[in-house]
Amino acid sequence: MKLRADHVAGSAFILFGAGIIALSGDLPTGQLSMPGSGFLPKIVAALTILFGAVLVLRGGESPPFAELAWDDGKHALLVTAITSIAIGLYEHLGFFVTMLLMIVTLLLLIERRKPFYAIVYSLAIVGLTYVSFVYGLKTPLPEFSF
Amino acid sequence: MDSTFISLMHGFAIAFQPDNLWYAFLGCLVGTLVGVLPGIGPLSGISILLPVTFGLNATQAVIMLAGIYYGSQDGGSTTSILRRIPGEASSVMTCIDGNAMAKKGRAGAALCIAAVGSWVAGTFGVVMLTLVAPPLATIALKFGPPEYTAMLVLGLIFLAYMSSSSLVRTLLMACIGLLLGMIGIDNMTGHFRYSFDLAELGDGIGIVPVAVGLFGLGEILSTPSYTVVGEVITPKFRELLPNRQEWRESFWPIIRGSGLGFIIGIIPGSAHIISSFLSYALERRVSKHPEEFGKGAVAGVAGPESANNSASTGAFVPMLALGIPTGPITAVLIGALMVHGVNSGPQLVTEHPDVFWGFVASMYVGNLMLLALNLPLVGLFVTVLRIPYAYLYPLIIMFCIVGVYEVSHSVVDVYIMLIMGVLGYALKKFSFDPAPLVLGLVISPIFEQSLRQSLIMSNGDYTIFFMRPISLGLLIVSAIMLIMSAYTFMMKRRDWRATLAEVEAGEVQP
């Protein structure tokens, strides 16, 4: 049997639902006359498993998993990695430095733009945003705090 | 009727205050830009700019955010007509005939018809909102927990029925949203649920990180810059007015689109997308020259553009009168009102008349502003469209981070946004629509509370939902929806939803 996209997606939802039920072990289900905090989560998790199973059963109609296009995967991975690092540094380096570094890195590393244009563009938009937020909208942004 | 008129006049007095006019203008301008730029939809636009409204009062905040919403419906048509890329999802249908008109040298006329149609439909929608919302809110005051539970069930099932993806996929997304909404402290018992000892998760997951992640970052992750190409057609200023024939051909489609859009707007689901699709199909069916559709038919621009604007206003009816979101955008707006200490719902008209009527009146003004903005500023929008996407998306990521962080000054929220972005990317790969997830997240607390309250008040007797006429009626409608979906599935019948899914994927013309 060929592995299809909905087989993978449905299985993931079944695992997710099962995980929620496992995590809900210490939450009281209560009774119908006094439902506890685990009452609805368990019902919804069971429904997730049920719908996941339907997806797996009907999986034959979906495209083969191997044929899903992942040609944008490298772009997605790089953007995620750079954004993740920027989020980690945001409260330490502050808005200006972090965003400047993030945008320059995205433009140089992923988009292969000329360094001069990348730096000038990044400086301009980060500077403009900083001024707009701090002075225009009176909304303080994180400052450098190492 | 008299009291409605007097209240509306009071609303105009609020809407015409200089600062409220300014925020309506700002919302319309930003909304138009959000609509023009491919990759940023109204949902991510509103979510990103939500923190900017924290310094405003509730009336100003909702005036500005709603301006972004209906402004984006207008702006989306510009990109569709000039680049054949939908600026936002509801403009998909405008791409077909709008761009065909542009290629025939009628770009200006297409833009003008879209702008006038949007204005007529938007104004019609607000008139209907003015007439329908207050009496509906009066009826909703009689609703108790069972009625709310039944209504939310109906909302979810209606969303699943109307969605272009399958019933199972939509319900799965709604389940994930409901589960995400249960993270944090249980309001009725005080138990911590799925918070993994993270204090930041005690209050639950906010709608902003989820919406910005799924719709903003998720879109960027799945759109490498080399895939965004397109020639921008520049209309000449003197060509902006349609000729007499084009005005005549657009008249009835605008009227039909306005009516159809408003009715669909009230129904839960991605109403503005569905309404433009149905309007296009309707216009082609009633046209004496259906063969012209796809080759620059005026009705193919006028109908869908009117319908999506009217639908975006119609969506405010259940939001304002019942406190129930019909889609993720109204869900974010409800969240925005809650941030300002205002609960939308039946009490909004009586407890916060300034917010309700000021908001309604500002929409009359906002629709006029859009008409005045869109045509003279076409040159500016063409310039914006020429900015390479490679330079644009880093800017959007920056706004995503700043927007989410500013809501609660929490890096955990920003990481949640990143996780949701990756989830949004994966969901797209497997053809899931994330909109029901956001809706599930928003209604989760209301749904859980009303369900548990209903069961407690009936001492565990679940027939309470069938013993009360309103909730019984709502559940019967839900059951009919489910049966109709199951019938379509079992008979393997293709209906309009299957065609919509293919059109959205760019596979066929309707």
DSSP string computed for B261-284: HHHHHHSSSSHHHHHHHHHHHHHH
For the range B237-242, what are the long-range contacts, defined as Cβ-Cβ under 8 Å and sequence gap of 24 or more? B237/B108, B237/B378, B237/B379, B238/B108, B239/B105, B239/B106, B239/B107, B239/B108, B239/B109, B240/B108, B240/B109, B240/B111, B240/B112, B240/B375, B240/B378, B241/B108, B241/B109, B241/B112, B242/B106, B242/B109, B242/B112, B242/B113, B242/B298
Give the CA count within 13 Å in the CB-facing half-sphere of B226. Answer: 8
**What is the pLDDT confidence band of residue B108, given thresholds at 50, 70 and 90?**
confident
User: b or e along B452-469 (b: 16 or more beta carbons within 10 Å of the residue's beta carbon)?
Assistant: bbbbbebeeeeebbeebe
Q: Is residue A10 part of a domain?
A: yes
Backbone angles phi, psi at A29, to 5 degrees: -80, -30
Inter-residue contact B465 to B140 (CB < 8 Å): no
- Residue A16 is predicted with a pLDDT of 96
- For the stretch B300-351, pLDDT in tens is 999 998 998 898 888 888 888 877 777 778 878 887 888 788 887 777 888 8
**SS3 of residue B142 by DSSP:** coil
pLDDT digit of tens for each residue in chain A (146 aa)?
Answer: 688 999 999 999 999 999 999 999 888 988 888 899 999 999 999 999 999 999 999 888 888 998 888 888 999 999 999 999 999 999 999 999 999 999 999 999 999 999 999 999 999 999 998 998 888 767 788 887 76
State the nearest Cα–Cα gap between A124 and chain B, in angstroms: 11
Put simply, the answer to whether B451 touches A137 (Cβ < 8 Å) is no
State the nearest Cα–Cα gap between A8 and chain B, in angstroms: 9
* Cα–Cα distance, B292 to B139 (Å, whole number): 46
Closest by Cβ to A87, choosing from B52, B194, B415: B415
Mean local confidence (pLDDT), B183-200: 86
Inter-residue contact B257 to B310 (CB < 8 Å): yes
- Residue B1 is predicted with a pLDDT of 58
* Cα–Cα distance, B446 to B450 (Å, whole number): 6
Among B64, B195, B430, B446, the strongest candidate for a mutation testing the A interface, having the largest count of A CBs within 10 A, is B430
Closest by Cβ to A107, choosing from B175, B394, B414: B394
Both A132 and A83 in one domain: the answer is yes
Position B484, amino acid: M
List of chain A residues whose C-beta atoms are within 8 Å of the C-beta of residue B227: 72
Residue range(s) defining the domain that contains residue A113: 73-136
Both A18 and A40 in one domain: the answer is yes
With a cut of 70, say whether residue B168 has pLDDT above it: yes
* Cα–Cα distance, B74 to B224 (Å, whole number): 26
With a cut of 80, say whether residue B173 has pLDDT above it: yes
Q: What does the domain layout of chain B look like in residue ranges?
A: 2-504
Among B39-43, B412-416, B428-432, the minimum mean pLDDT is found in: B39-43
Q: Is residue A55 part of a domain?
A: yes
Both A86 and A32 in one domain: the answer is no
Rounded to 5 degrees, what angle do the CA atoms B427, B430, B434 make?
A: 30
* Cα–Cα distance, B502 to B249 (Å, whole number): 28
* Cα–Cα distance, B5 to B17 (Å, whole number): 19
**SS3 of residue B413 by DSSP:** helix
Inter-residue contact A17 to A59 (CB < 8 Å): no
Both A52 and A92 in one domain: the answer is no
Among A62-76, B236-250, B401-415, B484-498, the minimum mean pLDDT is found in: B484-498
Mean local confidence (pLDDT), B403-411: 84
- Residue B429 is predicted with a pLDDT of 92
Q: Is residue A87 part of a domain?
A: yes
Put simply, the answer to whether A41 touches B390 (Cβ < 8 Å) is no
Q: Provide the token pair at B464.
A: 């309470």
Both A63 and A79 in one domain: the answer is no
Is A116 within 8 Å of chain B by CB?
A: no
Both A59 and A96 in one domain: the answer is no
Choose the final residue of a domain: A23, A49, A67. Answer: A67
* Residue in chain B nearest A118 by alpha carbon: B391
Q: Is residue A144 part of a domain?
A: no
Residues 6 or more apart whose CB falls under 8 angstroms from that of B413 comprise B200, B206, B208, B209, B404, B405, B407
Q: Provide the token pair at B381.
A: 């929008």
* Cα–Cα distance, B25 to B61 (Å, whole number): 12
Among A72, A100, A105, A126, the strongest candidate for a mutation testing the B interface, having the largest count of B CBs within 10 A, is A72
Dihedral of the alpha carbons of B364, B366, B371, B375, in degrees to the nearest 10: 180
Both A79 and A131 in one domain: the answer is yes
**What is the pLDDT confidence band of residue B198, given thresholds at 50, 70 and 90?**
confident
State the nearest Cα–Cα gap between A2 and chain B, in angstroms: 16
Choose the final residue of a domain: A23, A47, A67. Answer: A67
Give the CA count within 13 Å in the CB-facing half-sphere of B319. Answer: 32
Q: Average pLDDT of chain B?
A: 83
Is A54 within 8 Å of chain B by CB?
A: yes
Both A88 and A50 in one domain: the answer is no
- For the stretch B348-363, pLDDT in tens is 888 888 888 888 888 8
**What is the pLDDT confidence band of residue B510, given thresholds at 50, 70 and 90?**
very low
List of chain A residues whose C-beta atoms are within 8 Å of the C-beta of residue B175: 44-45, 47-48, 51
- Paired residues of B193 in beta bridges: B184
Backbone angles phi, psi at A33, to 5 degrees: -80, -15
Mean local confidence (pLDDT), B217-242: 77
Q: What is the phi-psi region of residue B56: left when phi exceeds 0, alpha when psi lies from -120 to 50, beta otherwise?
A: beta
- Residue B508 is predicted with a pLDDT of 41
Closest by CA to B120, choosing from B375, B326, B270, B303, is B303
- For the stretch B387-396, pLDDT in tens is 888 898 898 8
Give the CA count within 13 Å in the CB-facing half-sphere of B439. Answer: 31
**What is the pLDDT confidence band of residue B219, given thresholds at 50, 70 and 90?**
confident
* Cα–Cα distance, B107 to B319 (Å, whole number): 36
How far is the CA of B73 from the CAs of B22, B177, B306, B311, B423, in angstroms? 20, 26, 10, 10, 26
- Residue B303 is predicted with a pLDDT of 92
Closest by Cβ to B182, choosing from A40, A84, A86: A40
Q: Is residue A85 part of a domain?
A: yes
From the CB of residue B273, how many other CB atoms can be counted at a distance below 10 Å? 29
The total domain count for chain A is: 2
List of chain A residues whose C-beta atoms are within 8 Å of the C-beta of residue B447: 40
* Cα–Cα distance, B69 to B328 (Å, whole number): 12
Q: Which residue has the tokens 């999506």?
A: B308
Closest by Cβ to A48, choosing from B175, B401, B459: B175
* Cα–Cα distance, B309 to B301 (Å, whole number): 12
Inter-residue contact B363 to B20 (CB < 8 Å): no
The pairing of strands B192-193 and B184-185 is: antiparallel
- For the stretch B61-106, pLDDT in tens is 888 888 888 888 778 888 888 877 666 667 778 888 888 888 888 8
Inter-residue contact B161 to B478 (CB < 8 Å): no
* Cα–Cα distance, B31 to B373 (Å, whole number): 11
Is A45 within 8 Å of chain B by CB?
A: yes
The pairing of strands A34-35 and B192-193 is: unpaired
Q: Is residue A32 part of a domain?
A: yes
With a cut of 80, say whether residue B14 has pLDDT above it: yes
Mean local confidence (pLDDT), B258-264: 89
Q: Residues B382, B384, B385, B388: is their CA dihedral positive or negative?
A: positive
ipTM of the complex: 0.94
- For the stretch A21-53, pLDDT in tens is 999 988 898 888 889 999 999 999 999 999 999
Q: Provide the token pair at B39.
A: 């990759």
Outline where chain A has alpha helix (H).
5-23, 39-57, 73-105, 115-131
